[in-house]
Amino acid sequence: MYNRIIQFNDFKIFRNEKEVVILDIENGKLVKVDERTLKVIQNNNLSKEELFQKSKKYFNEEEFNSLVNAMENAGFLKYVDSKNESSIETYTKENIVGITLMLVQGCNLACSYCFGDEGSYCDSGKMSKETAFKAIDYLFEHSDADKVLITFFGGEPLLAVDLMKEIISYCKTKDKNVGYSMTTNGTLLNDEVNKLIVENKISTIISIDGDKEKNDKNRYHKDGTGSYDQTVKNTKELRKEYGLTSRATLTPGNLDMVNTFNHLNGLGFKNIPMTPANNLTSDAEFVEYINSEIELIEYAKEFIHSNNCSKVRKMTFIYSALLSLHRGVYRQFGCGAGIRDVAIDIHGDIYPCHRFVSYKETCLGNVYDTYQENEEKREKYLEKAQINNLNTREGCSKCWVRKYCAGGCVAGNYEENGGLLSQPPRECFHQQVFYEKLIYLYMELSEEEKKELFGEKY
């Protein structure tokens, strides 16, 4: 064992006034270390004997062996026979657990930033009941999960609310636990739809970009009238009695995330994710977006220090990242597109996710095709996407945040450069800034603050 080579995982060092923490990049874990240990792990690709000789000024042999054993048990080091030995990861193949149904490829709004061409995705029309039921059959045939998820999407899915009802009724004939979600602009909500949502526990996301001025600048009807008043009026009951998630799209002139959060929080939304409209954002504006996100992180820190963690939990993208850092849980892949989830358009064509529907060359089959035909096409996509190759993928292999970013959004990558693997450089920069700020925030938290923030997840 003393002659074999010790390889430590890649790591990044973070320091503040009170402690030193390393991020174990391979395992996604934050670990407190002392200066002596830091000296040891900065010597990589040595035999155990060579490493001990470099470390004995800090540790005696018993302490050294104990340290090495602890790091091996934690998965931070491994023994290899060659300094150049590496592992090749293969793609992930999993059963489908969720589908996004494009009930309508069309919309009653004409938002300026819509990547779906006013919800049509270079097509138009409504899904037939036959195709919808075939899509449900596809889901049940391809999933062995105890619970599956169906997302109603568009376009505007409430333009096909009758079909939505028939789908829910059809699912009740199946021997499977089904969860439902929906993304809607909220303008078509009424008492009948509200009842459908509540009775079937449909997790509902409302697209709204902030206050009236900011929302109506980009989210408007085809005649140019804004959607804010109608959305706020129609969602009032559900916001108060049921709980809705808002989704704000940030655009030039509307990049103030603190202001947007405060407005949507004031409206009573339970979760408030925000994302930039990349197709409208220049590089300079994207930097402004990152700076605004940093301000929101500082705002979250103020809430934590003032024992107001409930507001931080509404900042879902910040809270979920902090929780991952706290629990040492990293992402296996950027998202479930084509792996655990697929989108199905009005014709029954299958895509990795809804953002691929405009790109017909990415089709993974059709719900009317055989199981084998669809699986063969999905396997080819997974091989091409190289889901698990972050340690060898150009641009990712040397990036310290790779296990949290996991290569990013494959649809965003495809839209940017026509490939699945290469993330836009500015998004790589964004992820590094985001996680660095969050790690330093996490290092500031007391144990009591962590207990308050993470609750039973602590």
Nearest to 364 by CA among 384, 335, 123, 375: 375
In order of start, what are the domains of the chain with their CATH numbers? 5-80 (3.90.930.60), 98-324 (3.20.20.70)
Residue written as tokens 């090495």?
68
Cα-based distances in Å from 161 to 39, 103, 106, 256: 63, 9, 14, 35
Cis peptide before 155 (omega within 30 of 0): yes
pLDDT tens figures, 432-449: 999 999 999 999 999 999
pLDDT for res 41: 97
Sign of the alpha-carbon dihedral angle for 329, 318, 151, 103? negative
Measured distance CA(336)–CA(382) in Å, rounded: 11
pLDDT band at 384 (very low <50, low <70, confident <90, very high): confident
Residue 110: CB atoms within 10 A of its CB come to: 16
Query: What is the distance between the alpha carbons of residues 156 and 187, in angstroms, rounded to a whole number?
Result: 10
Q: Mind listing the pLDDT tens digit for each residue in 15-52?
A: 999 999 999 999 999 999 999 999 999 999 999 999 99
Q: Say if residues 50 and 42 touch (Cβ distance below 8 Å).
A: no
The three-state (H, E, C) secondary structure of 266-315, written as one string? HCCCCECCEEECHHHCCHHHHHHHHHHHHHHHHHHHHHHHCCCHHHHHHC
Tokens of 302: 């103020």
Segment 207-223, tens digit of pLDDT = 999 999 999 999 999 99
Secondary structure of 152-199 in the HEC alphabet?
EECCCHHHHHHHHHHHHHHHCCCCCEEEEEEEECCCCCCHHHHHHHHH
Say yes or no to pLDDT of 119 above 60: no
Q: What is the mean pLDDT of residues 370-393?
A: 85
Sorted by sequence, the CB contacts under 8 Å of residue 97 that are 6+ apart come out as 143, 145, 147, 148, 149, 336, 340, 341
Closest by CA position to 321, among listed 434, 409, 413, 415: 434
What pLDDT, on a 0 to 100 scale, did the predictor assign at position 458? 58
The DSSP secondary structure of 69-106, one letter per residue, reads HHHHHTTSEEEESSTT---PPPPP-----EEEEE-EE-
**Cα–Cα distance for residue pair 97/215, rounded to 1 Å:** 34
Mean pLDDT to the nearest integer, 375-384: 90
The pLDDT, as a whole number, for residue 141 is 93
Average pLDDT over residues 211-239: 97
Residue 268: how many other CB atoms lie within 10 Å = 14
Spatial distance between the Cα atoms of 137 and 123, rounded to a whole number of angstroms: 24
Q: With 90 as the cut, is the pLDDT of residue 421 above it?
A: no
Amino acid at 119: G
Percent of the chain with pLDDT over 90: 81
Give the pLDDT score at 254: 92
Is the model's pLDDT at 390 over the cut of 60? Answer: yes
- Span 129-142, average pLDDT: 97
Q: Confirm if 112 and 38 have CB atoms less than 8 A apart.
A: no
CB 107 within 8 Å of CB 118: yes
Task: Give the pLDDT of residue 195.
Answer: 98
Here the tokens at position 9 are 């995982």
